[in-house]
Amino acid sequence: MRHFKSMVVLNEEVSPGYARIRLTAPRVIMRAKPGQFVMIRVSEGIDPLLRRPFGIYDLGSFMPEYPDAPLQDYLEVLYKVVGKGTRILSSLHHGDYLDILAPLGTGFTQGNPEEEKILVGGGVGLAPLYFLAKQLVKKSKVKVFIGGRRKEDILSVTEFERLGIDTYVATDDGTLGAMGLVTEVMESNLANGDAKRSIFACGPLPMLKSVAGISERWGVSCQVSLEANMACGVGACLGCVTKGRNHSEQTPDYRCVCKDGPVFDSREIMWE
């Protein structure tokens, strides 16, 4: 958990309405785990007031353009422009500065390398899965299932393929890959195999819920990365909580998405 000023190195559209931003980061960022996230303050003033959370999409280092410079580490965020904060983000250029907290939260547990790793992402939920995939492929067989509404919402296919990962795509309108829900594609794929597997999912809540159900049915362990409205990102405001499996009014079991998550074992969550 570090608080630092970061310089924008590049910021480019990757698909209509989606962009990837590369941000300088202190050396220690290299210890960040897939699934951890960052909180970005997009304005120095009060509009917008709060930081915005984003998963880590990638980490790396580059050689600055001046002589004898040490390698500079960076992190990347893949984001979708949905409102004021992401609109401001999308207007930034090389050389602009941002204020960042990172890395926050828990990451994915990578588990036994023998297992086949099934990654399922919807839209911008792909972001942390790409970072995860880069690490997993070193030791495991990995498959990724990418879903979205239209073909514009399908991100990073090339990047996953470049990692040598089997990539399955589904869109609601059939403009890319199979027509239908990515969870259906994934489930039929699960049916055609019997390796020991585990699932890693990130995306909209209904998708995660469906993935949790599938993993339950097939008895496959499953981690999900949740989203929530966040104020602090550090476990202090209790704004981002989600109900744990055993939650009740009498014996409250709320977990902070920011601190106890954003990644949870799907069986730990109360799916409503």
Partner 1 sequence: MKKPDLSVEIAGIKMRNPVMTASGTFGYGEEFSPYLDLDTLGAIVTKGLSLAPRAGNPTPRIVETPGGMLNAIGLQNVGIDAFIEKKIPFLRNLNTPVIVNFFGNSIDEYAELAARLDLVPEVAAMEINISCPNVKHGGIAFGVDPKAAFSVVKAVREMTIKPIIVKLSPNVTDIVEMAQACAEADADALSLINTLTGMAIDLDKRKPVLANVTGGLSGPALKPLALRMVWQVSRAVKLPIIGIGGITNAIDALEFMLAGATAVQIGTANFINPGIAQKITEDMELYLVKNGITDVKELVGALEI
Ligand X SMILES: Cc1cc2nc3c(=O)[nH]c(=O)nc-3n(C[C@H](O)[C@H](O)[C@H](O)COP(=O)(O)OP(=O)(O)OC[C@H]3O[C@@H](n4cnc5c(N)ncnc54)[C@H](O)[C@@H]3O)c2cc1C
What is the rounded distance in angstroms from the CA atom of residue 236 to the CA atom of residue 234?
A: 6
What is the rounded distance in angstroms from the CA atom of residue 35 to the CA atom of residue 264?
A: 10
Q: Which of 240, 242, 262, 263 binds ligand FES (CB under 6 A)?
A: 240
Strand partners, 104: 37
Q: What is the DSSP letter of 31?
A: G
Based on the shown chain and the rule CB under 6 A, indicate whether residue 237 belongs to the binding site for ligand FMN.
yes
CB of 1 to partner 1, least distance (A): 4
Structure tokens at 60: 């790396």
Closest CB to its own copies among residues 47, 173: 47
Based on the shown chain and the rule CB under 6 A, indicate whether residue 239 belongs to the binding site for ligand FES.
yes
What is the rounded distance in angstroms from the CA atom of residue 110 to the CA atom of residue 62?
A: 27
Residues lying near partner 1 in the complex (CB under 8 A) are found at 1-3, 41, 46-51, 99, 101, 228-242, 247-249, 252, 254, 259
Which amino acid would we find at residue 135? Q
Q: Pattern 84-103, binding to ligand X, x per CB under 6 A?
A: xxx-----------------
Q: How many C-beta atoms lie closer than 10 Å to residue 57's C-beta?
A: 24
Q: Which of 16, 45, 67, 95 binds its own copies (CB under 8 A)?
A: 45
Q: Which of 112, 111, 118 is nearest to 214 (CA)?
A: 118
Tell me the residue number closest to ligand FMN, measured at CB: 237
Torsions phi, psi for 29 (to 5 deg): -60, -25
Q: Which of 50, 178, 231, 270 binds ligand FES (CB under 6 A)?
A: 231
Closest CB to partner 1 among residues 41, 151: 41
According to CB under 6 A, which residues from 27 to 46 bind ligand X? 37
Cβ atoms of residues 205 and 271 within 8 Å: no
Residue with tokens 């399955």: 168
Q: How many C-beta atoms lie closer than 10 Å to residue 253's C-beta?
A: 14
CB of 239 to ligand FMN, least distance (A): 6
Based on the shown chain and the rule CB under 8 A, indicate whether residue 15 belongs to the binding site for its own copies.
no
Q: List residues binding its own copies (CB under 8 A).
A: 43, 45-48, 84
Q: List residues binding ligand FES (CB under 6 A).
A: 230-233, 235-240, 256, 258-259
